Amino acid sequence: MKKENDKLTFYRPDIATRQEIPVAGSDVKAGFPSPADDFLDLPLDLNRELVRNPASTFFVRVAGDSMTGDGIGNGDLLIVDKSIDPHDGCIAICCLDGEFTVKRLKLESDGVWLLPSNPAYKPIHAGRNNDFRIWGVVRHVIKSFK
């Protein structure tokens, strides 16, 4: 098993700046191709689309591979909302004994299990003797394909 070594870099959203991007007028089919539309729909503002609560939202860049089973990989950008109450099964940004990590939560009466989705990593238990905080719930993952 690998030792946990994920690192996170935090960013605040700049909601003062609007960045509207044209969007195609129809959905893209994942099955059989369909004729393309020759027009663009209304512009899409990614801040409006992805950031529900600007004052409590931040971005985090992932370094590591412990969450690849959930589609979260090295270099991905996560959009995290601190105003959402963490719940059993959610993916969250946590601080455990001074180290940040992203994991799926398993809430129990004696503490919290931080569950990686890559079988090369072991679950981590955060109990009464740990300094543990949940910083926010992951709402979106932004990926780049190389």
What is the total count of domains within the chain? 1
Residue 128 domain flag = yes
What is the C-alpha separation between 139 and 77, in angstroms, rounded? 11
Domain CATH for 85: 2.10.109.10
Q: Give bridge partners of residue 61 from the DSSP assignment.
A: 9, 77
Residue 32 domain flag = no
Per residue in 101-139, pLDDT tens? 999 999 999 899 999 999 999 999 999 899 999 999 999
**Degrees (nearest 5) of the Cα angle 107, 135, 56?**
125
Residue 1 domain flag = no
Among all residues, which ones are annotated catalytic?
66, 103
Residue with tokens 């981590």, as numbered in its chain: 124
CA-based radius of gyration for the chain: 18
Range of the domain at 101: 7-24+38-142
Residue 31 domain flag = no
Local confidence band at 2 (pLDDT 50, 70, 90 cut-offs): very low
Residue 83 domain flag = yes
What is the C-alpha separation between 26 and 24, in angstroms, rounded? 6
Per residue in 58-108, pLDDT tens? 889 999 999 999 999 999 999 999 999 999 999 999 999 999 999 999 999
pLDDT for 13 equals: 66
Q: What is the mean pLDDT of the chain?
A: 82
94's tokens: 């946590």
Does the predicted TM-score (pTM) go above 0.85? no
pLDDT for 53 equals: 86
What is the C-alpha separation between 40 and 31, in angstroms, rounded? 22
